[in-house]
Amino acid sequence: MVAVMSQLVGKRITLGVTGSIAAYKAADLISQLVKYGAEVQVVMTKGATQFITPTTLQVLSRRPVGIDIWAEGTNSVPSHIEIADTTDLLLVAPLTANVMAEFAHGLAPDLLTSIYLATRGPVLLCPAMNGKMYEHPATQANLKALRSRGHAIVEPAEGMLACGYEGLGKLAPVDEIVSRVLSILG
């Protein structure tokens, strides 16, 4: 049996997972956050489900995974509002260029982006994409807008990217993301 570390006991983290090849790393991220005692609510974009199954993340988080904004459930409060109201941290890892742009421009076409707009607590964003996409002026302008709102950003790492290019754009190491979560909530 793995010992639970108590730094995040009683903390509720909403983990947004977007449609990046790095979505598979969400499994390790959830495991680490749960090990620290956090309650993790996973919300996936439909694109993320092309890279990792909701079942995997549900088993690791021990909670149903949110995907569809129209599957509101039985509460009188819409799920995106309830999740936003009850989270201590909205963590999005990996964050694609598309979802980053939706956040920056206030678009809410799905559950994750709707939760983002309703969240009043801290937001931690972890971009992952091709280096050319990351360095594009539009992406950099979106990052600047998100930083100006007080959101924390864990910069992507350099290395071999899934597309075969070498450079900036890999999702930061899970340990680095967890460390940043601990600094925000610990």
d(CA 139, CA 19): 16
- Tens digits of residue pLDDT in 120-158: 999 999 999 999 999 999 999 999 999 999 999 999 998
Q: How many whole angstroms separate alpha carbon 151 and alpha carbon 148? A: 7
Local structure of 47: helix, strand or coil: coil
Looking at every residue in the chain, the average pLDDT score rounds to: 92
Q: What is the CATH number of domain 12-185?
A: 3.40.50.1950
Closest CA to 104 of 86, 132, 125, 121: 125
| Whether the predicted pLDDT of 76 surpasses 90 | no
d(CA 175, CA 9): 18
**Rounded to an integer, what distance in angstroms lies between the CA atom of residue 161 and that of residue 185?**
30
Query: Which pTM does this prediction carry?
Result: 0.94
Tally Cβ neighbours within 10 Å of residue 63.
Answer: 14
Active site residue: 50, 163, 165, 166, which one? Answer: 163
Q: What is the pLDDT of residues 13-26, one digit of tens each?
A: 999 999 999 999 99
Q: What is the mean pLDDT of residues 63-82?
A: 79
pLDDT class of 1 with cuts at 50, 70, 90: very low
Q: How many CA atoms lie within 13 A of 46 on its CB side?
A: 5
Which one has a higher pLDDT value, 176 or 77? 176
Query: What's the pLDDT tens digit per position in 43-71?
Result: 999 999 999 999 999 999 999 999 988 87
Average pLDDT of 80-89? 94
Is the pLDDT at 92 greater than 90, yes or no? yes
- Residue 126 among the catalytic residues: no
Write down the pLDDT at residue 186.
77
Q: What is the mean pLDDT of residues 81-89?
A: 94
Where in the chain are the domains?
12-185
* Mean pLDDT, range 101-124, rounded to an integer: 97
